[in-house]
Chain A
Amino acid sequence: MKKIFPILPALSAILLIYASYQALKVAPTDALQGDVYRIIYYHVPSAWTAFLLFLINFVASITYLVWRNDKSDVLALVSAEVGVVFCTIVLVTGPIWARPVWGIWWAPGDIRLTSTLVLWLIYVSYLVLRKFSTSAQTQVMAAALAVFGALDVPLVYFSIWFFRTQHPQPVIGGGGSMDPRMLHTLLVSWLAFLLFAFLVCWSRYRLELLKRGVERAEAMESLVGAGAAATTSLPLGRSPR
């Protein structure tokens, strides 16, 4: 991993540029919406990536509750945080697309927008809990909250789905068959964003390990500073990997 690490950002950058080129130049213009529809090449891959990251967060949280290993806790934190970033992008680009196409920024009855917003709220509250919790058992609380959030997702979808059918709204016609070139561009774009998300997650993962290392070192130093122990050969000076 460490050896191939310098290659990955370059590869990711090339892929992203290629995907953006495909999205802006190669993919055909939509007959109904014109060029604005090209927003979906950023919007939809971001959404898929966010959902994948939230799924990872759920699995990692369950793993943590069962085995209590630090690694899955860090994984849960990282995937939730990066997932929220991608989810924010979905929520920002969604209305930007909706304004010229539907004529409104936000359709309260639209199931996908609204359930994505609720999902975003749930995972932001997860991150807030992690930030404000003072006890040493933050991880357990956070994992429990993640399980609650994941249980909530089908209910959110279900409730809004019914709510919408009760209150018809101008909703996109997502249906119909897609031009194969469009689908190809969409998948290339997703691949590029997945690789990018993986890199961001990896950096965030290392950041979290570094942070925990610093916390441990600080605790050690305060112990040593208290004069409890004499010179030790603690690996404090070692630079983090």
Chain B
Amino acid sequence: MSDLVQLLTPEGVRVPDDTYEEWVADVDAASMRSLYRDLVLLRRFDSEAVALQRQGELGLWASLLGQEAAQIGAGRAMRPQDHAFPTYREHGIAWCRDVDPVDILGLFRGTTLGGWDPRRHGLHLYTIVIGAQTLHATGYAMGVQRDGAVGTGDPDRDTAVLAFFGDGATSQGDVNEAFIWASVTNVPVVFFCQNNQWAISEPLERQTRIPLYRRAHGFGFPGVRVDGNDVLACLAVSRAALARAREGSGPMLVEAYTYRMGAHTTSDDPTRYRVEAELEQWRLKDPVERVKAFLLRGGEADASFLADVEAEADALAERVRTGCRSLPEPEPAVVFDHVYAALDPDLVVQRDEIARLAALGGEVPA
């Protein structure tokens, strides 16, 4: 696939790229070790969440297994002032935006519909309706443009917006409308599509007849396909696209070509629709293993470093397990508090009904 940007082969060998390698020229051995740490911790968090679902602690989990590099690459390319709009699978972006992993679990445990303050983290809440958030990202970027936070040359002021979505979402009207809007308004938004090849049970062929990144051309902005299992390439391409947006050159589509190694969610059974051989091929392109191979080959990491990261992952897993079980239960009375800016008199009556029924203690008076 000659149109694929790749800086690190599945075997962990650096490959040159005239366009993009300059964007990661600063990534030294320490940075590579840091990226490796992110990938390992993120994967451990994700597998722990799957386990928590199996134990009945979560109602559902959407695993990101296989997509760690795409998300760490994009997430680490963001600046503090940038803002991202995730789907429900962007745990790696939340990780990079300093959301406590335990707080990501709340939505899936059923203790909250949110979990964090979007402004504080520069990360909107998870959006479950497919593609709706791409319009939110575009509108937010329109606001950024209006605020004059584009093209000033001030690295602490110029702001970009990242819209995340998957291959299935590219069929949605909202995503196509977002492309049109962003194009004609020339706003600082990067459309980051993780093409993980599957929309639940539907393969990519159900969504498109051409490579997704090439759709951008028709909308009037550039598109690029990057090896979504190569964290270095994802970092480089994301940095380039975000920089382009911040300087005022408009939107760009990044297609991170990757693979959903797990089920769509814990409720899904992929053995009904895809073959094991396909997974075998993608296992050879694993995003974590290639960084490990690179570090070991160059002598940039040793056994004690790897052991330290593993120990850190174990500690994270323990913290996530404990934290999940102690997430606060939602209070029935509080559910009425955030419907409107002020508590509605009708809602007061309905809220009091819960209290009245609770006071009966389940006893129906004779």
Q: Is this pair of chains taken from one and the same complex? A: no
Chain A residues close to B by CB (< 8 Å): none
Chain B residues close to A by CB (< 8 Å): none
